[in-house]
Amino acid sequence: MRLFCFPFAGGRANTFSEWEEHLPHVVEVVGVELPGRGLRFAEPPFTRIGPLLDALEPSLLSLANVPVLLFGHSMGSLMAFEMARRVQQQTGQRNPVGLFVSAQPPPRFRQEVDEPSKLSQKELLERLSLPPEISKNHELLELLMPVIRADFELTETYHYVEGPRLACPVAAFCGTRDQSAPASMMQGWNEVTSSDFRLFEIEGDHFFLNEMRQPLLRILKNETLRIKGTLKN
């Protein structure tokens, strides 16, 4: 199975670089590197989700010759969900076999969001709570801020369009102290699938992805094994 992982705003594919060693050996982890960062630093970042997925879809579909799983955190959850819909349409429900969404309200019930992409750099840094080695590195911030603003604009301008439910199981993750995506809100992801839905609360705030990586990966390991077991039938 291939697990495609979509990062949070400002995030990179290397967030998921060590995940594979903690998951079943049958799972290959593919961190999705978005334009404007890492090896794709010279490419301008996208500010709309549709054109970004248009650009990513051919490469991802070329790797969908095995069972496909998708994971996204925060902004990445919207990308993973919309890509899952595209993959299902293109493969006739053969793929994906599972979707994992994290720290992001479900698309149908997303509330009106403010526009952090238009905040001053100081206000944006306060909201992001970046580690000191980044927030105090002015040269690094100068490189990162356009990407972060573009990512926030991508999320702000996202609009859910009604469509067929996913045929695969969906699992949602939320931090116990994450006020932006509490368990009561994350439960709404059950409406995007006609298959099984499971919700997991993990100790932590919005970035439990980093703070509580081991508990998250233990659950992902169990979930991928559970999905693998269903594929034998």
- Which residues are known catalytic residues? 74
3-state SS string over 159-173? Answer: CCCCCCCECCCEEEE
User: Would you call 59 exposed, middle or buried from its count of C-beta atoms within 10 A (0-12, 13-18, 19+)?
Assistant: exposed
Residue 180 tokens read as: 């932006």
Place of tokens 């439910």: 165
DSSP 131-184: -HHHHT-HHHHHHHHHHHHHHHHHHHT------PPBSS-EEEEEETT-TTS-HH
Q: What is the CA radius of gyration of the chain?
A: 17
**175 contacts: CB under 8 Å, gap ≥ 6:** 103, 181, 201, 202, 203, 204, 205, 206, 207, 208, 212
Bridge-partner residues for 173, per DSSP? 102, 200
Coil vs helix vs strand at 53: helix
Query: Packing angle between helix 138-156 and helix 75-91, nearest 10 degrees?
Result: 50
Residue 35 tokens read as: 């334009």
